């Protein structure tokens, strides 16, 4: 059976398998020189804990956007290109949700998967559009979390 990384697939797979495979896919999609460049910080970016956190979050966002953009292109010539691209996009977005930003603390996996399926219907076509989309997704998740867990 082909893993499609939809909600039903993700909830039945062992987490360590998802973590290992998604990390391998990202490392294939983001060249080592690019990874090294985006994870190199200027001194002013790391001179306070807040700035370092901000720089790391920005880097994780850019890394994910690059991986998502490369994924679309990587499967262009394959049989079932759209299906394969969507599968890997779901997997990378799971990594974004669970590993990069630990969004499980904010929203459920089911809610995340619903947003991913909607996003796949009109997926961005370049890195900058992915950065914008991922940023908007983070804002949406923050709003959902705030409504579910109001502080006050």
Instruction: Decide if pLDDT at 86 tops 90.
Output: yes
Q: Is residue 22 situated within a structural domain?
A: yes
- Predicted confidence at residue 59, as pLDDT, reads 95
Rounded distance between C-alpha atoms, residue 27 and residue 32, angstroms: 7
Give the contacts of 40 (CB within 8 A, at least 6 positions apart).
Answer: none
Percent of the chain, pLDDT > 70? 99
- Predicted confidence at residue 1, as pLDDT, reads 52
The total domain count for the chain is 1
Structural domain for 99, as ranges = 7-148
148: how many CB neighbours lie within 10 A of its CB?
11
Q: Is residue 99 situated within a structural domain?
A: yes
Q: Is residue 49 situated within a structural domain?
A: yes
Q: What is the pTM of this model?
A: 0.92
Q: Is residue 1 situated within a structural domain?
A: no
9-35 pLDDT tens trace: 999 999 999 999 999 999 999 999 999
């Amino acid at each position: 059976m082909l893993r499609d990384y939809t909600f039903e697939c993700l909830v039945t797979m062992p987490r360590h398998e998802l973590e290992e495979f998604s990390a391998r896919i990202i490392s294939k999609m983001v060249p080592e020189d690019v990874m090294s460049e985006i994870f190199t910080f200027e001194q002013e970016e790391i001179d306070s804990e807040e700035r370092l956190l901000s720089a790391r979050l920005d880097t994780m966002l850019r890394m994910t956007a690059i991986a998502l953009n490369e994924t679309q292109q990587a499967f262009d010539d394959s049989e079932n290109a759209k299906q394969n691209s969507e599968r890997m996009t779901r997997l990378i977005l799971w990594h974004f949700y669970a590993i990069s930003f630990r969004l499980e603390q904010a929203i459920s996996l089911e809610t995340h998967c619903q947003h991913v399926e909607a996003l796949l219907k009109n997926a961005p076509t370049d890195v900058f559009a992915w950065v914008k989309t991922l940023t908007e997704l983070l804002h949406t998740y923050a709003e959902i979390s705030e409504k579910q867990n109001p502080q006050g």
